């Protein structure tokens, strides 16, 4: 017997609360959308927006307001100052959009402003510069990475659970054709990715790739909620955040596959049980494994969040959000959607065969 956190015979009515869970998801997604609209979109980090980051460490505790006042007379355009890492580190990150100036000139201007107006000593620990063209290219490649990860996952799930490799190939071909036509119309990349996701979901529905549809919708849900919470918290979106999102996609998919595997096994052996009871039983049977995996992963990520320092603070925060949301979506989004649209025709045929043999 393996380690069990939950009684193997538990019968928690997860599916009975699926509507409430969907309302909660809708509310969080709506808040994220409102935040994005209010802020005018994501707050892109230097990786995507271009500019110069200067990390300053003070020898004594200083207030954010005083740091801003000390640099306000430096004449630097669109400069943002924010605390970096833990409060006790006394570190601040200066983001400057003055790309027409040399990095060393900016270092000198910042040093002079702080020396003249701050009582505490300081060190400039890091200076990074990214041009606008490089930032734009990185942003495009990050969006493409997220999209193709979801696309390849939908193809894998279609073959893995429904043995529809040919249909999955049709899905990929149809999607690539749609993308090609949109590119001919010079559609911006962001709208291109959104259209591609809608095409993927639509084709999964049309081709009855029910497992793939549940998995893709759950993954999109996880990414959107994580991005929305980052917007609500005023966090910057950079390459480390994209890396966290890709990690979240893989983690959430792994949990979804475990639940889907159990649903498929129980579908094959069912007699007259309703689909709701089968999905609910499957979630309960995998609950102990889910809690064990999520709990141990959370311990590691919490260590990164509190002890990893400012460089990976936002990365760890995204993972914390993603682990919780990914575990939740495997139960209340992927499984609920599979319950709503019903089992695949292949699963129904397998059930009939098993019932006839019995």
Residue 17 neighbours by CB under 8 Å, 6+ apart: 332
Domains of the chain (ranges; CATH) run 15-43+134-357 (1.20.1640.10), 51-130 (3.30.70.3400)
Residue 200 has pLDDT above 60, yes or no: yes
Q: Which pLDDT belongs to residue 99?
A: 61
pTM over 0.85: no
Highest mean pLDDT among 68-82, 120-134, 191-205, 295-309: 295-309
Least confident of 63-72, 112-121, 174-183, 349-358: 349-358
Given a contact cutoff of 8 angstroms between Cβ atoms, the answer to whether 79 and 93 are in contact is: no
The more confident residue out of 248 and 268 is 248
Q: Which pLDDT belongs to residue 94?
A: 83
Confidence of residue 222 (pLDDT cuts 50, 70, 90): very high
The share of the chain scoring above pLDDT 90, in percent, equals: 15
Q: Which pLDDT belongs to residue 353?
A: 39
Q: Which pLDDT belongs to residue 134?
A: 66
pLDDT tens digits along 285-295:
888 888 888 88
Cα–Cα distance measured from residue 8 to residue 299, given in angstroms and rounded to the nearest whole number: 24
Cα–Cα distance measured from residue 20 to residue 26, given in angstroms and rounded to the nearest whole number: 10
User: Tokens 């939740």 — which residue?
Assistant: 328
pLDDT tens digits along 47-94:
777 778 888 889 888 888 888 888 877 766 567 788 877 777 788 888
Confidence of residue 352 (pLDDT cuts 50, 70, 90): very low
The more confident residue out of 172 and 227 is 227
The single-letter DSSP state of residue 152 is H
User: Tokens 């599916």 — which residue?
Assistant: 15
């Amino acid at each position: 017997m393996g380690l069990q956190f939950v009684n193997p015979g538990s019968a928690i009515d997860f599916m009975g609360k699926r509507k409430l869970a969907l309302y909660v998801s809708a509310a969080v997604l709506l808040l994220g959308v409102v935040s994005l609209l209010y802020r005018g979109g994501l707050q892109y980090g230097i990786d995507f927006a271009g500019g110069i980051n200067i990390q300053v460490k003070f020898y004594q505790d200083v207030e954010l307001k005083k740091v801003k006042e000390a640099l306000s007379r430096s004449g630097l355009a669109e400069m943002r100052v924010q605390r970096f890492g833990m409060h006790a580190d006394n570190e601040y990150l200066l983001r400057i959009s003055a790309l027409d100036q040399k990095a060393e000139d900016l270092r000198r201007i910042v040093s002079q402003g702080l020396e003249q107006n701050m009582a505490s000593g300081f060190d400039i620990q890091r200076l990074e510069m990214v041009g606008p063209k490089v930032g734009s290219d990185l942003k495009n490649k990050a969006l493409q990475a997220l999209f193709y990860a979801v696309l390849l996952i939908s193809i894998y799930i279609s073959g893995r659970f429904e043995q529809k490799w040919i249909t999955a190939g049709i899905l990929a071909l149809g999607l690539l054709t749609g993308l090609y036509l949109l590119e001919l119309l010079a559609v911006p990349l962001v709208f291109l990715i959104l259209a591609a996701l809608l095409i993927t979901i639509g084709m999964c529905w049309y081709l009855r790739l029910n497992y793939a549809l549940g998995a893709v919708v759950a993954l999109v849900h996880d990414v959107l909620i994580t991005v929305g919470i980052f917007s609500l918290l005023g966090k910057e979106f950079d390459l480390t955040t994209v890396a966290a999102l890709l990690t979240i996609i893989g983690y959430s998919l792994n949990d979804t596959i475990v639940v889907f595997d159990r649903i498929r096994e129980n579908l094959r052996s069912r007699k007259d049980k309703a689909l709701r009871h089968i999905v609910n039983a499957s979630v309960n049977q995998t609950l102990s494994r889910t809690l064990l995996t999520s709990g141990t992963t959370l311990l590691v990520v919490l260590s990164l969040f509190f002890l990893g320092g400012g460089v990976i603070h936002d990365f760890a925060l995204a993972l914390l959000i993603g682990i919780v949301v990914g575990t939740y979506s495997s139960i209340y989004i992927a499984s609920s959607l599979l319950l709503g649209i019903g089992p695949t025709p292949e699963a129904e045929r397998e059930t009939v065969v098993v019932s006839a043999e019995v």
